[in-house]
Structure formats: structure tokens, C-alpha cells
Amino acid sequence: MKEIARKVVMDTDLFQRMFIDWVGVDTKKFLQYISIEYAKKVLDVTPVSLSDTAKTDFRGRAVGTAISEIPVDI
């Protein structure tokens, strides 16, 4: 969040307040939500196991272990 606020030349606290006003939740809850939604989609469309899905970031990139069959654009 600090990096995003810096890129848009905004104080971190102000950015957080504006984000909450716009989205309705703070940035941490928002990232948790989109991570869960992405994981659900991956489980629906691929043969990848839940444990392998847990090893990916919210963009579908493998974290630690290579998981080539996970699509990035679901």
C-alpha cells in the first residue's frame, strides 16, 4: 500500500482512507477477498489441488514451487 500511495503521490493514511471510502473495505481485506476468489476460480477450472493453489499468489504466480498448469487469466 505504501508503494501505491507513493506512486500516486499521496500520503499513505490518506490513500487508505480514500480506498476504504471507494471500495468499502481496507486494502488488506480487499487483497484477501480477491485471493480467495481467484483460488475458487482456479479450483473450478484446473486439475490443480488445493495445496498447490495455496502456493500461488493472487495473480496466479507460483510461490516457491513451479505450477505451470495454473492459468493467469481466468
CA distance 41 to 35: 10
CB 67 within 8 A of CB 61: no
C-alpha cell at 5: 500511495
In a domain, 64, yes or no: no
Confidence at residue 68, expressed as pLDDT on a 0 to 100 scale: 52
Confidence at residue 65, expressed as pLDDT on a 0 to 100 scale: 45
Number of domains observed in the structure of the chain: 1
In a domain, 7, yes or no: yes
In a domain, 45, yes or no: yes
In a domain, 60, yes or no: no
Range of the domain at 29: 2-53
pLDDT digits (tens, 9 = 90+) for 8-64: 899 999 999 999 999 898 888 888 888 888 778 877 777 767 677 677 665 666 665
How confident is residue 5, by pLDDT bands cut at 50, 70 and 90? confident
Say yes or no to pLDDT of 6 above 50: yes
C-alpha pair distances (Å), 56 with each of 4, 20, 24, 42: 22, 26, 26, 10
Confidence at residue 11, expressed as pLDDT on a 0 to 100 scale: 93
Using only the alpha carbons of the chain, give its radius of gyration.
Answer: 15
In a domain, 59, yes or no: no
